[in-house]
Amino acid sequence: MRVQVTRRGGIAGISLHADLATSDLDAATAARVEEALDRLMDQPHVASAAQPDRFYYEITLPDRNRTTSVAEQDLPTELTPLVEMLSKVGSVGRGGQTSPPDPDTSVNDPDGRSRSER
């Protein structure tokens, strides 16, 4: 299942976005995540009160044309593997805009130095 996840908020206000696939998880975890996503999309949920400096997630299932937003404190624990994947592979942005990393500061040469260190 394809899943697009955007995390916003937090103390720094930096957004993080990734296009993920549950097929990148082991079969049992993928099944739990997909079931939790189905529940999240199909059942209306009551959002808890806004809490400063917490994250908010926008989750989209592009193949189903479905999107929902959920606060960090309301995110089902079964979706933790998606949050972990987002943290590892997501693109960072500010103010809701995401962008790829700056190649002049993030790419290392074979000697291990970044371009900014040359």
Q: How far is CA 112 from CA 60, 105, 108, 115, 118, in A?
A: 37, 12, 5, 10, 11
What pLDDT digit, counting tens, does each position of 21-70 carry?
Answer: 999 999 999 999 999 999 999 987 777 888 889 999 999 999 999 999 99
Report the number of distinct structural domains present in the chain.
1
Q: Residue 58 and residue 48: Cα distance in Å, rounded?
A: 16
What SS3 state is found at 94?
Answer: strand
Q: Domain of residue 85: give its range.
A: 2-99
Task: For residue 64, tell me if it sits in a domain.
Answer: yes
Q: What is the mean pLDDT of residues 82-98?
A: 80
What pLDDT digit, counting tens, does each position of 72-86 carry?
Answer: 999 999 999 999 999
5 neighbors 17 (Cβ within 8 angstroms): yes
Angle ∠(66,94,80) on CA atoms, nearest 5: 50
Model pTM? 0.75
Q: What is the pLDDT of residue 34?
A: 97
Task: For residue 118, tell me if it sits in a domain.
Answer: no
